[in-house]
Amino acid sequence: MLAQLFRHLNIIVLISACYASPLYEFTSFEQEQHYYEYIGHIRCLVCQNESIKDSNAPLASQLRSVIYEQMISGHNDETINAFLEKRYGTFVNYKPEANGLTSLLWLLPLILFFTYLIRFFSKK
């Protein structure tokens, strides 16, 4: 009896999966690929270690919807990035654009290390 119930439930689940519609409708395969590639580069602000592509957080879901709507309406990546950075800051991008501050953040440890080496060896 219980085995028959599980068999019928499995059949229902398999049939419903066949009729499931995609969450987002795209006009072309390239547009869909671009969307999924793009959301892979946007950081989830809740998880902070995942992209919004991989996150199940409600904010990530909202961001995916906002990005989808903007892409479908014809906005390019720069416009979407500007919107996200204005609203959430540059932290939202896994690949922030290089500017003076990011260069300083990368170079400062090297400068401090070499300064320490010079001071250490000059004392002897």
Domain boundaries, the chain: 26-98
What is the C-alpha to C-alpha distance for residues 21 and 117, in angstroms, rounded to an integer? 62
Question: By CB neighbour count within 10 A (0-12 exposed, 13-18 middle, 19+ buried), where does 98 fall?
Answer: exposed
pLDDT value for 124: 60
What superfamily would CATH give domain 26-98? Cytochrome C biogenesis protein (1.10.8.640)
∠ Cα 55 57 58 (to 5°): 135
- Taking CA atoms, 3 is separated from 9, 12, 16, 17, 79, in Å, by 10, 14, 20, 21, 55
Residue 18 has pLDDT above 60, yes or no: no
Residue 40 has pLDDT above 70, yes or no: yes
Averaged confidence pLDDT in the chain:
83
Q: What is the pTM of this model?
A: 0.65
What is the C-alpha to C-alpha distance for residues 4 and 8, in angstroms, rounded to an integer? 6
pLDDT tens readout for residues 53-96 = 988 899 999 999 999 999 999 899 999 999 999 998 888 887 76
**What is the share, in percent, of the chain residues with pLDDT greater than 90?**
40
